[in-house]
């Protein structure tokens, strides 16, 4: 392993560019910060699900563990393979996933995950067995003990496999704790009574799954199918059999659920906080971020811009594209809007927006195909985030103190949106109305009215709380230390 001499007062900046004053001169060094730690002679194997929202946290966890002295091997599928060249200090091993071209394009994420679980097993088994065997045969000098496997809860074949190889397996979970522990009740709720819902009940709370409202639950149950029910049961069983569960949340965001999860799963639980706070940046992005976003933001007033993005999976219809476009235009606020290629059903990109409207949009907005989201949210010009409330996007927004307008599409996004709008009260909920007047009104309420100021103040407090948690001696910081001790104990 390459080792670097680092004076003890070296500035750790969390990015590849490290600056240091030495003998009166500023020296800039371009290295992966994770290379600072000396090897502890142990290796961790990581196996992310091939989804952007799972790859980002897994690579961030890899950087954290590497900075603590662990060597890292990432086993990954061919589909949505992480960009190995951006992480020269990690070993990447690709396995065949057996997905056909058509299967990689399906918008049915659950189906794709079920197929991957079925088809990756032999290749993964082979790869892991070889790694363990070669670790055993290394000379005493080169020997690096493989401590454990860390993979996503959505890989359901890895637990029995790791067990059969005597390898501890830790589960990385990319949901909010309260979603993960409660979502196992969904098959039962579906069987029972929730599908026939009266209009008058729409806003009632769901006692079995707080703080969801019945209309959220109805959407969740509608998207759920048999394949998901049996998949959930397997996730529950394999998580309970694991050697530990890691959440990218913290006591400050998930206090009650964390103590309940400890009882539910009976395995050590580590709430290490939003991992991107330790190693920010978009180095694990599968798509190339449009870097012109930042100079464009530099030209805007403080807290004036609404940033719009619905993550890496959600899709919208052409009509919804037009409603959002008009809502943004009519709000008269500058906006930065991410429209992924292929995310508007039935079209390539935004070619269906009429030229005349496009000209008006270009007057105070910018549309890109993918943004460097963490840098965007950090920018002083961004005043609000119209988001689908994926957990990564939600915590990235909290960590930068950016209030949200919630437009959840599916799965855990519905719960995250209720936390943002009703529990933490750091955002507004569009209540599924993708309609130009609603969007315009929400943007103006958030960015221009006193209601928005109160929301911003609450967001500042939440940001500080979470910020304290990940700093030295904070709860998330200590949980990470405990995780490192736990892995070192294997
Ligand atoms: N992201 C990004 N650029 C974009 C949109 C999203 O880098 O233009 C990143 C974002 O920072 C987050 C991830 O993609 O880390 C999306 O994860 P999330 O859990 O929010 O949603 P998902 O894509 O899983 O629905």
**Domain check: are 265 and 383 in the same one?**
no
pLDDT given for residue 193 in this prediction: 64
* 307 and 252 both lie in a single domain: no
Which span out of 107-116, 219-228, 398-407 was modeled with the highest average pLDDT? Answer: 398-407
257 & 303 share domain: no
From 275, 390, 391, 407, mutation site for ligand 1 pocket: most ligand atoms within 8 A of C-beta = 390
User: How many whole angstroms separate alpha carbon 464 and alpha carbon 319?
Assistant: 39
In the predicted model, is pLDDT for residue 213 greater than 80? yes
Scanning 419-474, the segments in alpha helix (DSSP H) are: 436-448, 450-470
Q: What's the gap in Å between 315 CA and the centre of ligand 1?
A: 13
* Domain identity same for 224 and 297: no
Q: pLDDT value at position 163?
A: 97
| Torsional class of 431: left (φ above 0), alpha (ψ -120 to 50), beta (otherwise) | left
Beta carbons of 36 and 6 less than 8 angstroms apart:
yes
Atom 17 of ligand 1, nearest CA residue? 53
Which pLDDT belongs to residue 34?
A: 42
Work out how many domains the chain is built from and give that number: 2
Nearest alpha carbon to residue 463 among 413, 396, 412, 406: 396
Res. 1 pLDDT band, cuts 50 70 90: very low
Q: What is the mean pLDDT of residues 387-392?
A: 97
Over 80: is that where the pLDDT of 16 sits? no
Residues 212 and 273 in one domain: yes
Q: Are residues 225 and 106 in the same domain?
A: yes
- 166 Cα: distance to centroid of ligand 1 (angstroms): 35
Burial label for 485, CB within 10 Å (0-12, 13-18, 19+), is exposed
Q: How many CB atoms lie within 10 A of CB 463?
A: 17
443-488 pLDDT, tens digit per residue, is: 999 999 999 999 999 999 999 999 999 999 999 999 999 999 999 9
Q: Other C-beta atoms within 10 Å of 425: how many?
A: 15
**Do 243 and 294 have their domain in common?**
no
For CA atoms 233, 275, 42, 91, the dihedral sign is: positive
Percent of the chain whose predicted confidence (pLDDT) is above 90: 77
Q: Are residues 249 and 341 in the same domain?
A: no
- Write out pLDDT tens, residues 247-267: 999 999 999 899 999 999 999
Q: By residue range, what is the domain housing residue 111?
A: 2-280+472-488
Task: Look at residue 15 and tell me whether its pLDDT is greater than 90.
Answer: no
| Token output for 312 | 């890496």
Ligand 1 binding pocket, CB closer than 6 Å: 51-53, 56, 282, 285, 289, 309, 311-313, 338, 370-371, 373-374, 390-393, 396
Please tell me whether residues 203 and 343 are part of one structural domain. no
Q: How many beta carbons lie within 10 A of that of residue 70, not counting itself?
A: 23
Q: What is the pLDDT of residue 434?
A: 98
Please tell me whether residues 272 and 324 are part of one structural domain.
Answer: no
Q: How far is the CA of 310 from the centre of ligand 1 (A)?
A: 8
Q: Taking 80 as the threshold, does the pLDDT of residue 36 lie above it?
A: no
Ligand 1 center to 49 CA (angstroms): 14
pLDDT at residue 365 above 90? yes
Confidence of residue 220 (pLDDT cuts 50, 70, 90): confident
Reported as a pLDDT band with limits 50, 70 and 90, residue 159 is very high
Ligand 1: centre distance to CA 53 (Å)? 6
Same domain, 318 and 207: no
- Which of 87-91, 195-199, 395-399, 486-490 shows the lowest per-residue confidence on average (mean pLDDT)? 195-199
Q: How high is the pLDDT of residue 197? A: 72
Same structural domain, 247 and 175: yes
What integer pLDDT is reported at residue 192 of this predicted model?
Answer: 76
Probe ligand 1: pick from 373, 382, 417, max atoms within 8 Å of CB? 373
The model's confidence at residue 284, banded by pLDDT at 50, 70 and 90, is: confident
How large a percentage of the chain has pLDDT more than 70? 89
What pLDDT score was predicted for residue 24? 35
Q: pLDDT band for 385, please (50, 70, 90 cuts).
A: very high
Q: What is the mean pLDDT of residues 281-306?
A: 92
In which band, very low, low, confident or very high, does the pLDDT at 143 lie, cut at 50, 70 and 90? low
Q: What is the mean pLDDT of the chain?
A: 89
Average pLDDT over residues 90-95: 97
* CATH number, residue 96: 3.40.50.2000
Region 372-383 average pLDDT: 97
Q: CB atoms < 10 A from the CB of 97, how many?
A: 21
């Amino acid at each position: 392993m390459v080792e670097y001499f680092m004076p003890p007062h070296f500035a750790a900046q969390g990015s590849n560019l490290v600056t240091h004053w030495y003998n009166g001169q500023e020296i800039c060094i371009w290295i992966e910060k994770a290379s600072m730690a000396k090897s502890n002679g142990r290796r961790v194997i990581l196996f992310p699900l091939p989804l952007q929202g799972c790859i980002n946290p897994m690579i961030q966890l890899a950087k954290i563990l590497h900075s603590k002295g662990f060597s890292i091997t990432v086993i990954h599928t061919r589909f949505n393979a992480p960009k190995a060249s951006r992480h020269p200090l990690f070993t990447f091993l690709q396995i065949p996933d057996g997905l056909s071209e058509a299967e990689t394009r399906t918008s049915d994420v659950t189906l794709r995950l079920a197929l991957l679980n079925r088809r990756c097993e032999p290749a993964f088994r082979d790869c892991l067995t070889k790694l363990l065997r070669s670790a055993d045969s290394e000379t005493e000098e080169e020997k690096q003990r493989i401590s454990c496997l860390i993979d996503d809860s959505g890989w359901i074949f890895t637990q029995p496999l790791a067990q059969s190889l005597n390898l501890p397996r830790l589960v990385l979970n990319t949901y909010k704790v309260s979603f993960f522990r409660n979502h196992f009740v969904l098959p039962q709720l579906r069987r029972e009574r929730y599908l026939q819902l009266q209009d008058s009940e729409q806003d009632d709370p769901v006692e079995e799954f707080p703080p969801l409202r019945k209309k959220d639950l109805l959407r969740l149950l509608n998207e759920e199918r048999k394949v998901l029910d049996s998949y959930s049961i397997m996730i529950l069983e394999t998580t309970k059999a694991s050697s530990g569960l890691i959440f990218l949340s913290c006591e400050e965001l998930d206090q009650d659920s964390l103590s309940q999860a400890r009882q539910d799963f009976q395995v050590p639980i580590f709430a290490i906080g939003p991992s991107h706070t330790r190693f920010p940046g978009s180095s694990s992005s599968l798509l190339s971020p449009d870097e012109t976003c930042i100079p464009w933001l530099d030209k805007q007033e403080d807290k004036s811009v609404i940033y719009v993005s619905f993550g890496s999976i959600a899709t919208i219809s052409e009509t919804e594209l037009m409603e959002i476009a008009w809502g943004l235009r009519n709000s008269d606020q500058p906006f930065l809007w991410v429209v992924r290629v292929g995310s508007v059903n039935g079209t390539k990109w935004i070619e269906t927006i009429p030229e005349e409207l496009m000209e008006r949009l270009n007057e105070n907005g910018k549309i890109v195909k993918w943004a460097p989201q963490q840098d965007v949210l950090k920018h002083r010009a961004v005043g609000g985030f119209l988001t689908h409330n994926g957990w990564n996007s939600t915590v990235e927004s909290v960590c930068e103190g950016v209030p949200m307008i919630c437009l959840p599409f599916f799965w855990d996004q519905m719960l995250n949106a209720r936390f943002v709008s009703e529990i933490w009260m750091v955002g507004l909920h569009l209540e599924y109305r993708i309609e130009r007047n609603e969007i315009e009104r929400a943007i103006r309420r958030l960015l221009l009215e006193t209601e928005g100021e109160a929301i911003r103040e609450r967001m500042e407090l939440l940001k500080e709380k979470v910020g304290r948690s990940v700093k030295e001696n904070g709860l998330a910081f200590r949980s990470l230390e405990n995780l490192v001790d736990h892995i070192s104990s294997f």
